[in-house]
Structure 1
Amino acid sequence: MTVAIPPEAGKDMSEQRAKRDPEGTRRRILEAATEQFTKFGLAGARVDAIATAAGTNERMLYYYFASKEGLYVAVLEAMYAQFAEREAGLDLSGLQPADAVRELAKSIWTHLRENPQWLSLINNENLHEGRYLERSSHLRETISPVVDLLRVTLERGIASGQFRQGIDPLDFYVTLVGMGYYIVSNRFTIDIFTGRNYAEQDRQASISAMHLDMLLTYLRPVS
């Protein structure tokens, strides 16, 4: 005979599991929220759907993240941190400065192509004019290691005479990311408007090579 479990008992069991594995519960909520916010944005994402997908209840979601908006900010922070950790973990010290720039650029552009969720979340937050990211007290910390990595690479290039002086590392980084970001985030409209599909591997390789030539030409000393 099947015994029905009252809703209150189900909530209690869910909370007991969460207390036994708080990090796992928090991770599952973030993963489920990432899916919801990617598909539906902040306005369309549903807290009950996130809780169900995470195998918990809404009370635990509010316990960990205080609000739907707080969860949204946490998802953005996690995505940016993952991106920055990947790039900051690159070992470029043994490469020639130009090769180091190539390696960093390729790594960033590959990440953009392979993580459409990241692009969807960024695009959604730009629709909100960055007002939720502005609440984050940790976000800017994530970009510093990547920009420092680039700064050290540029300094090595200047010291060896391969790069010119006066290059702002943050401006260069933003330009580098923007080159790869645009052709991925706008790939559908570019294809419709121009008839060229930059999601195709040969197109990716061709335009990436052009972007690298442009970046490295800019870095060369002025004769």
Structure 2
Amino acid sequence: MDDSAERPAKPRKTSWKKDPEAVKENILAIATEEFAAHGLAGANINEIANKTSTSKRMIYYYFGDKEGLYCAVLERVYASLRHGEDLLDVADLDPVPALQRLIEATFDAHVNAPHFIRLVMIENIHNADYLRKSDIVPKLNRSIIDKLEDVCARGKAEGTFRKGTDPLELHWLISSISFYNVSNRHTFSTSFGKKLFSKAHQAVLKQRVVDMILTAAIIDHEPTAWN
């Protein structure tokens, strides 16, 4: 007896007809997890399609191919990180608290974006070949430099910032420490224990980062004492 008639039919993935933008966002969210976990080579389009609300055919329709999807994922994670920075309004703050706020926000943004960290690590393995194809990411990245340029200019004008303080160098310093805190968490904690990665100690480390950057940029800054 053929019992196929008794089995419930598998739901058809037709929601793309009703809300294509939501479907694209669903694809990108799943693809972000897959690429972050397995890299470009290891991620599987069939697996991504199986986890989404649409089909493999529609993934290709929207993104062209696997590399097109990967590039879209990169742009999405950069946009998410930079959007949070764009929401920071530091123009009305004095230069020192403005810089402190940007440092803290960058540190927290990296902690809260492990997929971003993993994807940037993967893209560095590819020598940024795919990121280089993006016309969007350079524009996204410009916003944080603009904020730092404004803060540095105001700080130098009022005599609180050192004359040689460079916005791009500041961004490199802030980002490098914030990135390492997440990218090397597993290897560091395996080698030295998990003490630094408790919620309480992450707050301490964030203050240390603030002190390091402010000491480098600001004349006569007194860092928080080590107890």
TM-score (norm 1): 0.89
Selected match of 2:28 from 27, 30, 43:
30
Query: Once structures 1 and 2 are overlaid, which stretch shifts more, 64-73 or 31-40?
Result: 31-40
Shift in Å, 1:188 = 1.9
Shift in Å, 1:96 = 1.9
2:75 paired with 1:77? yes
What are the Cα deviations for residues 32-65 of structure 1, in whole angstroms up to 9, with x where unaligned?
1011111111111111111121111111101110
Selected match of 2:208 from 202, 206, 210:
210
Structure 2 unaligned regions, length at least 5 = 221-227
Shift in Å, 1:196 = 5.3
- Identity across matched positions, percent: 35
Larger relative helix fraction = 1
Selected match of 1:60 from 38, 58, 61:
58
Q: How does 1:1-223 map to 2 (within 5 A)?
A: 2=6, 13-14=12-13, 16-195=14-193, 197-221=195-219
Structure 1 unaligned regions, length at least 5 = none
User: Aligned equivalents of 1:3 and 1:192: distance in 2?
Assistant: 49
- For the residue of structure 2 that corresponds to 1:130, the secondary structure is coil
Preserved CA contact (<8 Å) 1:190 1:197: no
- For the residue of structure 2 that corresponds to 1:146, the secondary structure is helix
What are the Cα deviations for residues 99-148 of structure 1, in whole angstroms up to 9, with x where unaligned?
11111111111111122111111111112221111111211010111110
Shift in Å, 1:3 = 6.8
Preserved CA contact (<8 Å) 2:152 2:166: no
Q: Give me the CA root mean square deviation.
A: 2.0
User: Aligned equivalents of 2:29 and 2:194: distance in 1?
Assistant: 34
User: Aligned equivalents of 1:59 and 1:196: distance in 2?
Assistant: 44
User: What letter corresponds to residue 91 of structure 2 in structure 1?
Assistant: S
- Kindly report structure 1 stretches of 4+ aligned residues shifted beyond 4 Å: none
Shift in Å, 1:4 = 6.8
